């Protein structure tokens, strides 16, 4: 599904990712762990299509180069990024934003757009599953939401859009234990043989609830070690400093 070969990324002449390699197959869950400044967010930015980076190497999604696709085209193809810092858009109702987003993607895929009633039915169901306060859906997008609510809103969007590849960028940071469980449930309910996940995190904690197939340790722009879930535990014990 996703193949990254020799990816290099610079921003303002500073090298962030160096020779980064990763392959994710359909249905797999990969976790990337690393300390601050190791290049985790750069990776999610580049995969989602954020501008401002000088990149080289190859990133293929379903055998097509992502570098040939605009951000929204990547979204249409089924790439979703749960943002580390979800953006506020004043004056835009959350429901309207979700509906606009879903229908933009459906339209691009040649699927029928949902009308208001069909959409509300869908969103209600998904919100209940995530214990997301429905009243919030009528508020301005992320405006006045707590950190946890913003993150839950990302997962709600993910479950509505049902993407092929979901990238969770430090979704666990700032979540209390209850919210963490809800987020994990949301992810687990989307785990299917065709849906893959890339979970970017500092801590092992989230991985107690979402069992990854692979764990990778990212340091200074490179994956220095890959393994199974046990690697996360080892990392938690030793700390990043002593790990190398």
Partner 1 sequence: MREKEIAKLKDYKYGFATDIESIKAPKGLNKEIIKFISEAKKEPKWMLDWRMKAYERLKNLKEPNWQKPKYPKIDYQDIYYYSAPKSVSEKPKNLDELDPKLLETYKKLGIPLQEQQRLNGIAVDAVFDSVSVATTFKDKLNDVGVIFCSISEAIQKHPGLVKKYIGSVIPLTDHYFATLNSAVFTDGSFVYIPPGVKCPMELSTYFRINASQTGQFERTLIIADKGSYVSYLEGCTAPMRDENQLHAANVELVALDDAEIKYSTVQNWYPGDKDGKGGIYNFVTKRGLCKGVNSKISWTQVETGSAITWKYPSCVLKGDNSSGEFYSIAITNNHQKADTGTKMIHLGKNTKSKIISKGISAGFSDMTYRGLVDISLKAKNSRNYTQCDSLLMGNKCGAHTVPYIKNKNSESNIAHEATTSKISEDQLHYCQQRGLNPEEAVGLIVNGFCKEVLQQLPMEFAVEAQKLVGISLEGSVG
Q: Which residues does 82 contact at the CB level (< 8 Å), separation at least 6?
A: 151, 154, 155, 157, 158, 166, 167, 168, 169, 171
- Kindly identify the residues of this chain, within the stretch 197-226, that bind partner 1 according to CB under 8 A: none
The C-alpha atoms of residue 135 and residue 17 are separated, in whole angstroms, by 41
Q: Using the rule CB under 8 A, is 116 a contact of partner 1?
A: no
Q: Using the rule CB under 8 A, is 150 a contact of partner 1?
A: no
Binding mask 5-44 for partner 1 (x = CB under 8 A): ----------------------------------------
Q: Using the rule CB under 8 A, is 104 a contact of partner 1?
A: yes
CA 152 to chain centre: 12
The C-alpha atoms of residue 73 and residue 67 are separated, in whole angstroms, by 11
Residue with tokens 């859009």: 161
Q: How far is the CB of 238 from partner 1 (least distance, A)?
A: 35
Q: Using the rule CB under 8 A, is 162 a contact of partner 1?
A: no
Contact in structure between 218 and 31 (CB atoms under 8 Å): no
Backbone angles phi, psi at 165, to 5 degrees: -125, 120
The C-alpha atoms of residue 25 and residue 28 are separated, in whole angstroms, by 6
Q: Using the rule CB under 8 A, is 48 a contact of partner 1?
A: yes
Q: Which stretch binds partner 1 (CB under 8 A): 22-30, 75-83, 207-215, 221-229?
A: 75-83
First to last CA, the chain: 30
Q: Using the rule CB under 8 A, is 54 a contact of partner 1?
A: no
Q: Which stretch binds partner 1 (CB under 8 A): 103-111, 207-215, 219-227, 228-236?
A: 103-111
Residues that bind partner 1 (CB under 8 A): 48-52, 70-72, 74-76, 80-81, 83, 86-87, 89-92, 97, 100-102, 104-105, 108, 140-141, 157, 161
């Amino acid at each position: 599904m996703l193949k990254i070969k020799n990816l290099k990324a610079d921003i303002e002449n500073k090298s962030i990712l160096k020779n980064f390699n990763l392959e994710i197959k359909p249905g797999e869950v990969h976790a990337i762990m690393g300390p601050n400044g190791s290049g985790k967010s750069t990776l999610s930015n580049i995969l989602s299509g954020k501008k401002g980076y000088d990149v080289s190497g190859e990133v293929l999604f379903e055998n097509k180069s992502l570098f040939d696709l605009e951000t929204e085209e990547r979204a249409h193809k089924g790439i979703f990024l749960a943002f580390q810092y979800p953006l506020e858009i004043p004056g835009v109702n959350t429901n309207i934003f979700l509906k606009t987003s879903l229908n933009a993607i459906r339209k691009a895929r040649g699927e029928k757009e949902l009308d208001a009633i069909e959409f509300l039915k869908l969103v209600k169901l998904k919100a209940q599953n995530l214990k997301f306060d429905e009243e919030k859906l009528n508020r301005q997008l992320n405006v006045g939401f707590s950190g946890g609510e913003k993150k839950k809103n990302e997962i709600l969007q993910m479950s509505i859009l049902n993407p092929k590849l979901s990238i969770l960028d430090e979704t666990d940071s700032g979540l209390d234990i209850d919210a963490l469980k809800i987020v994990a449930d949301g992810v687990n309910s989307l785990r299917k043989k065709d849906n893959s996940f890339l979970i970017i995190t500092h801590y092992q904690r989230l991985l107690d609830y979402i069992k990854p197939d692979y764990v990778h340790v990212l340091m200074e722009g490179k994956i220095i070690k890959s393994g199974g879930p046990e690697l996360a535990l080892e990392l938690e014990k030793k700390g990043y400093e002593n790990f190398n």
